[in-house]
């Protein structure tokens, strides 16, 4: 299995809703990432988990809450989002630091906040 699987593929949520994005990989990768991508822009790093511990938080607002229940799973809990948070949310993984192999990206969750 050489994939990163993200669910759901599309999500529409209201500003008062609570929802979660899920990401799964079975490649034995020990680093997992959340990125946010606006249309026709490069991905922006949000969080990095290394060996199931949060190692980087790029000053992301607290309405985004990551969770890494085990080495294969990564969640992003969403609460009280704003319309400007609408974007493609990409999960990625790498064996450790991404040198050599880079990241393996999932196909993303397209989030619309209404």
Partner 1 sequence: GEDVEQSLFLSVREGDSSVINCTYTDSSSTYLYWYKQEPGAGLQLLTYIFSNMDMKQDQRLTVLLNKKDKHLSLRIADTQTGDSAIYFCAESQSNDYKLSFGAGTTVTVRA
The residues that touch partner 1, with contacts defined as CB under 8 A, are 4, 6, 31, 33, 40-43, 45, 48, 50, 55-56, 90, 92, 94, 97-108, 110
Compare residues 63 and 110 and give the one whose CB is closer to partner 1: 110
Q: What's the rounded Cα separation, in Å, for the pair 40 and 60?
A: 21
Q: Which is nearer to partner 1, 72 or 104 (CB)?
A: 104
Edge-to-edge strand order for the sheet containing 4-7? 4-7, 18-25, 73-79, 64-70
4-7 and 18-25: which strand pairing? antiparallel
Work out how close the CB of 47 gets to partner 1 at its nearest, in angstroms, rounded to a whole number.
10
| Min dist. Cβ of residue 53 to partner 1 (A) | 12
Residue 81 or residue 92: which is nearer to partner 1 going by CB?
Answer: 92
* Whole-angstrom distance, CA of residue 37 vs CA of residue 79: 19
48-105-16 Cα angle (round to 5): 65
Looking at the Cβ atoms of 76 and 90, the one nearer to partner 1 is 90
């Amino acid at each position: 299995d050489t994939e990163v699987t993200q669910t759901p593929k599309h999500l529409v949520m209201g500003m008062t809703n609570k929802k979660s994005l899920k990401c799964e990989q079975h490649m034995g990768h020990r680093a997992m990432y959340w990125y946010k991508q606006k249309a026709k822009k490069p991905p922006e790093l949000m969080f990095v988990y290394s060996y199931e511990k949060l190692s980087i938080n790029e000053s992301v607002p607290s309405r985004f809450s990551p969770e890494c229940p085990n080495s294969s799973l990564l969640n992003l809990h969403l609460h009280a989002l704003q319309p400007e948070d609408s974007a493609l949310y990409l999960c990625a993984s790498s064996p450790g630091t991404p040198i050599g192999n880079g990241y393996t990206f999932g196909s993303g969750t397209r989030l619309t906040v209404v």
